[in-house]
Amino acid sequence: QVQLVESGGGLVQAGGSLRLSCVASGRTFSRYAMGWFRQAPGKEREFVAAISWSFSNTNYADSVKGRFTISRDNAQNTLYLQMNSLKPEDTAVYYCAAGAGSYDYWGQGTQVTVSS
């Protein structure tokens, strides 16, 4: 079992920035892709961004492309999500996930609230 713990959420004004972190521990996950998902009030969970743990290939949802940047530090077993130009519609609980093919491991989530 891989354990994932998110941090870095908070309350910001529209146009502001936050940096989320996800620290991974447990069994090796070097073969896993890593991703960020979010779930806003009244909405289904949605994909935000993904990255290859080994080679740093990235993918983004259209809604965040150009504003969010996913990255990782393998030495620290940490995944990041830099969020710039935040909008009220970005308000959600953000979850870190890991897996091969499907995302089998999930963190507990960190709340991001963007006020207008």
pLDDT tens digits for 71-110? 988 788 899 999 999 999 999 999 999 988 789 999 999 9
Nearest to 37 by CA among 23, 20, 52: 20
φ/ψ of 2, rounded to 5, equals -100, 130
Tokens of 61: 């949802």
pLDDT tens for 32-57 read 889 999 999 899 999 999 998 776 78
